Amino acid sequence: MTFDKKVAIVTGAGQGIGFEISKQLALQGATVILNDIDTALAQQAAEAITAAKGHCIPLPGDSGDISFIRQMVSTAVTQFGRLDIVIANAGITLFGDFFTYTPEAFNRVMQVNLGGTFFLAQAAANQMKQQAEGGSILFMSSVTGHQAHKDLAAYGMSKAALEMLAKNLVIELSPYKITVNTIAPGATLTERTLDDPSYEKTWSGLTPMGRPAYTQDIASAALFLVSGQARHITGQSLIIDGGWTSISPSPF
């Protein structure tokens, strides 16, 4: 796979899966606009990728904010002349018991996970349509959009909805040669999950392949789906979980 002369936006990429996707895209030739809501994280991530000889600029901001979404697309076009790839990786997880889950928590999850993804796809697709050269859009779902998970009703609902969004957008985007797909990671070792000292051991025992995913496992699949090798794949969701959803043992 090569991404020479391609321009990409990756949201929620200050660390973890988003960072690894950004790094791999940049190291394979893409110019990456790296977004994170945390300014320091975005800056550090972009500097690390640049130090590794990748072309990456930070663009901190709230990926659930409509005006900022438009700014991201505008930045790509103004600074680099085009936009070829968008990976809507940003999302938030707000655990909570269904009986007491607050409207504030529900609305924030939907604003970022659904609204942010929907309107980023809209802004990006309008730009790709103008370019008339196709493009690739990728959403970040989760295994919790496929299997019930305690205290994640709102989050799981948002992730399942993203997969339906990708299917529906096939109708809208295919005439312009724009692909739209979704990946659904399972348990993955990131800075956040490693805050739990039992996480790796627990999920190694629950995952048929004997370990959680590494961020590289997720990034490899993401890069394939936004590459030229996947130009005839659209409206699909790929689960990357080491087999967990086949048997679905709960960690609780």
Catalytic residues, by residue number, are: 141, 155, 159
CB 147 within 8 A of CB 248: yes
Contacts of 146 (CB under 8 A, 6+ apart): 160, 184, 239, 245
Tokens of 145: 């959009």
